């Protein structure tokens, strides 16, 4: 069974192949049916799989505005 590091390294290596853009994003689905970690051309997509996850984790911890 692979470790979490090996899983993330695999995703990073796949992203580094630049099959589409070589940038990824983690976000909620546009249809509201879950979440997506994928290679993307969106302006806020980044080169690091780990950083894409970190960004969402940091946002998750913030209290809701209101």
Q: What is the pLDDT of residues 19-56, one digit of tens each?
A: 999 999 999 999 999 999 999 999 999 999 999 999 99
What's this model's pTM, rounded to 2 decimal places? 0.84
| Residue whose C-alpha is closest to residue 40's, from 55, 18, 57 | 18
Question: What does DSSP assign to residue 46?
Answer: B
* Distance from C-alpha of 45 to C-alpha of 63, rounded to nearest angstrom: 23
* Distance from C-alpha of 12 to C-alpha of 47, rounded to nearest angstrom: 8
| pLDDT score of 66 more than 70 | no
Mean pLDDT for the stretch of residues 4-17: 98
Three-class SS of 4-43: HHHHHHHHHHHHHCCCCCCCEEEEECCCCCCEEEEECCCC
């Amino acid at each position: 069974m692979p470790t979490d590091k090996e899983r993330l390294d695999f995703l990073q290596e796949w992203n580094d192949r630049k099959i589409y853009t070589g940038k990824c994003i983690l976000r909620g689905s546009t249809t509201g049916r879950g979440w997506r970690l994928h290679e993307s051309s969106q302006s806020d997509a980044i080169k690091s799989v780990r950083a894409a996850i970190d960004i969402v984790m940091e946002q998750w911890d913030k209290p809701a505005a209101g």
